[in-house]
Structure 1
Amino acid sequence: MKWIGRILYFILVLLIVSTVEYEYRGVGGIQRLFYVEDNISKFIKNENYDIFDGIAHLNAAMGTYYSSTPIKNQDDSIYYDTTGENIDDKFKIKFSIYPFISTYQNPNAPVWDDGFYIVLDEYSKDVTYYALSIVAINVNDPEQKLIKKSNTLTVEDKKYSVPEFNIYTNPTDVYNRLATTTYLLNSNFYEAKHSEFEAPNEYDIVSIEFTAYTEVDGELVETIIYQLTDGNLDLGGDQPLVKHTNLNLKAETFNISKKLESLRLTETDIETYNIVTKYHPVDLSAYWSVYVWVYGIYIVLFLVIPYFWFFHKNVMASIRAKRPKLATPEIVDTPRPKEEQLFSDIEPKSDDK
């Protein structure tokens, strides 16, 4: 039972540490959670909230940037728009796309982690969320094979949700994605086989498809509402309500980090690419107490509890063994002198007898 308890304790510690260090990304990640809560979550439910202010706060928290200059489509417009189409109003959308600027290369893949924001400018609140299906091409691939990505990932016949390929309409978790927005990076399209290419991997986006999920009788119903292509691709399959061929999302339109004078951003970089630095560098000083709580818990888990559980008894026994013994007086057993007997049961003999 003692060893079972120790194993269970080890598992508990492992779960706590992995949650803090990997899920929340350590003390800094927890501080950023509080920052997002104080600067975005508390205000985003307000209908007048400026979503671009939220994006600026979010990028400051992540240590990344975005450009305020939208990427124009092939028609020289900043919007992709179906609001003028003859379809049900709840399926009409209008959105714009902005460069996401990481200023760093992905540590796990030969790609710059640049990408692009998709921001809904008009949408229906009858839609619970939009699921994206995206087709990309690696610019280094001589065969130009299509890379298809969506909000569903299948691993060993099990399906998993990929949240970055969803755009939610109601404010929910805003740590990684703001409601009515999402951002996608080069690493979202990277595959292990792309490591054979010598140059850093970048991707032309050749198709974006929107599927709207609406609630009907308590169940989510999906409707393919909008398909965008660059005009060179016919995906076939289910036909969307609206199809446009003016997509302009080449790698060169959003891969900006490699063009910067300095990855620390110079004034020239900021002016050239209209990089938003409104809340940079992020100020997390108000959340210093996170260090106290996290490392205090670590001290208890790694030092205090193991000491009393595993070592305290032996340490105290060792201390007691090393203490000098107190000298005790020697007891000498000496015979006591014979004392004169004052009384006797034997009567003395008289002279007459």
Structure 2
Amino acid sequence: MQLCQRLEQILENLRPAFSREATYQWFILLAWGVVLNSQPSAITSYVNALGLTESYYHQALHWFESKAFNVKGLTLGWSKWVSQHENLYRIKEKRVYVGDGIKVGKEGRKMPGVKRLHQESGNVAKPEWIRGHYFNALSVLVGAGKACFALPLVLRLDDGIKSKATAKEGKKGSKKEKTTLVTKMGELCTTYAEAGSYVILDAYFACGAVLKSFRQNALHLITRVRCSTVAYAPFSSVPTLRGKGRPRLWGSSIKLESLFALVEDFPTAKVWLYGQQVSVSYQCFEFHWDSPHQLVKFVLTQLPNGQRLILLSTDLCLTGPEIIAAYGLRFKIEVTFRQLIHLLGGFAYRFWLKALPTGVTFS
């Protein structure tokens, strides 16, 4: 009974996202249909779980094309409610978000947005190339004590379908930066994450464009960079010496991988990592990377199994062990993806072209 009341309270907070009462009531019914459903995920299954007759099928189907709400407004309302949760996981009293991308295999040749996607994985069961959809996802960490979970805020199809803003980029004379999956993830984080929070991303999203957008929106990034990364030492100019040309901005370049030569002299610390406490060797350095005016903190890390990582944090106040432990929380979103796929059937969907004639079968 308490669970039912709690769900009703959550759904009530999403009422402002709907402009019509009937659309909102159908949203409540379909949400309960998802909860009560024990059959393969489909609108028919949701209608059956609610005990409705087949005459309500087309009304339920029409809800997904309703103009009385938009998905962005609904997800923003959900994000706002979650941000007020009392059990949010925090680092130094700041919220922690985790973002990543997921590729979902889809074989429909007439399905919108399906593209040929490359998969980089050490799992031999995964093919190198698939056809499907690419989603960017953002979650917030919730929990109590050492246990925490990645609660999804938004999953957005970011590849294969061109928006109006993306379509205008091809025009001549446009000075806008090229939109990529990385910049779309940065835009997703700045839209849904609260200012002053930490966002943990994979090394794929570690680039200057993301750092620039995060600084403009007062967000801190914690990520991993490649071992071949080159950073720059702070440049100190001599007032009495002035050469020809533009004043120098960057200091000498430093290959971060070369700093592992001193790994035997690195300090060690006990860190709670991947569900257990381990001893890691680390060393912190503050260098320039994406901007000659902003420093970032690099943490050279060696795990007990000998694996070496280079982590990056835009918050210079965090210690090395705190950055290592925070990046270890990134795998929480992988657990969320697994539950979404195998437990909830979150990607058991099919898109149809609006221009596709009804009643046509494909052999």
TM-score interval w.r.t. the shorter chain?
Answer: under 0.3
> What is the TM-score normalised by the length of structure 1?
0.23
- Structure index of larger Rg: 1
